[in-house]
Amino acid sequence: MRRTVMACGAVILVLAGGCSGDGPGPDPTAPPSSEPGGSGEPSSSPSVSESPEPFDPQQVDLAEQEWQFSTVYQDPVDVPLEGGEATGEFGQWEGKFELGDDDPLYVDIDDDGDQDVVASMSFSFETAPETYQWVATTWFVWLNDGEQLTQLPYPLAGSGDCDTQVDSVTKADDVGVVIDEAQMGWQSACAEGAGIEVTRTVQVSYDTDDRPWLVQTDPFPSWGGACPMMVEPSDSGGEVRTAPEMEPASPEVNAVIVTSESWLGDEIDDWDFVTYLQEEDPNFVSYCGWAQRSN
């Protein structure tokens, strides 16, 4: 199924073949014949074409593709991997990008019958020559339209220093993936670590313009990508949606929008990317969504 996706990287594997041949012509000395294929007329075999091989995303080497790397806080940068590595700038740092240690996950995340890919990339900044300190690991979705893989630019999940820690990303029983992660408590010290356990199920859904979005389906509908932590309370209001022009988010209790920081807030005209809490949640678990910008 064809889908329109914003991102980078495309690989197409197609095999096609065919063959045909003509038999020998008639013997000029033989009498005419009315029988098909007889010596009075030429014979030929029908043309035969093999069907194209189906596109196999597992044959795409992600270690040799051009990625877009980002966290939920820092803007995307283009990263052309060679042998699973690249060097370059990311935010205020200079350092090294590497394909994640976990194996790619092959899963139909948008329920279109094609196997998509979820894979991670890490960035470490250089503290001294050939000495690196880990900064972040982000998981991304590569959508399969039956002919190629295309990376979604939005982070699906992410681990960072003094931030959320992703424990696992696995196949869901039905559609999508299950993300097990732990969030930092609001105003907690980095030394305390991420201790608020969160499990969420995410799939890719399409809006009326066929644009793909990461949508959380469990424990309730909400934005399905990585979510920045709450910075401080806010007086902002408005209806929170799972994605621009998509259905409303529906937490179990009222959503309270709080202040957070993310480059996603500048991506879509007339829409704010927001972090919200469930009212009276003692753990201050952060969820995210989109609110239409007031003029």
* pLDDT tens string 143-161: 999 999 999 999 999 999 8
In tens, the pLDDT along 90-145 reads: 999 999 999 999 999 999 999 999 999 999 999 999 999 889 999 999 999 999 99
Residue bearing tokens 């009222």 = 254
Amino acid (one-letter) located at 28: P
pLDDT surpasses 50 at 169? yes
Angle at 209 between CA 58 and CA 207, to 5 degrees: 75
- CB-based contacts of 153, cutoff 8 Å, min separation 6: 6, 7, 68, 70, 76, 140
Say if residues 90 and 79 touch (Cβ distance below 8 Å): no
pTM (2 d.p.): 0.81
Residue 51 has a pLDDT of 65
H helices of the chain, where?
none
Region 5-13: mean pLDDT is 39
Predicted confidence band at 277 (pLDDT cuts at 50, 70, 90)?
A: confident
Say if residues 243 and 273 touch (Cβ distance below 8 Å): no
Sign of the CA dihedral with 217 first, then 219, 220, and 223 last: negative
Say if residues 165 and 159 touch (Cβ distance below 8 Å): yes
Residue 48 has a pLDDT of 57
Strand arrangement, sheet containing 212-218: 165-171, 177-183, 196-206, 212-218, 222-223
When mean pLDDT is compared across 94-98, 134-138, 207-211, 235-239, the lowest value belongs to 235-239
- CB-based contacts of 195, cutoff 8 Å, min separation 6: 182, 184, 185, 188
Q: How far apart are CA 256 and CA 228, in angstroms?
A: 15
Backbone angles phi, psi at 171, to 5 degrees: -65, 140
Residue 23 has a pLDDT of 46
Three-class secondary structure of residue 102 per DSSP? coil
In tens, the pLDDT along 59-80 reads: 999 999 999 999 999 999 999 9
- CB-based contacts of 66, cutoff 8 Å, min separation 6: 8, 9, 78, 79, 80, 81
Predicted confidence band at 49 (pLDDT cuts at 50, 70, 90)?
A: low
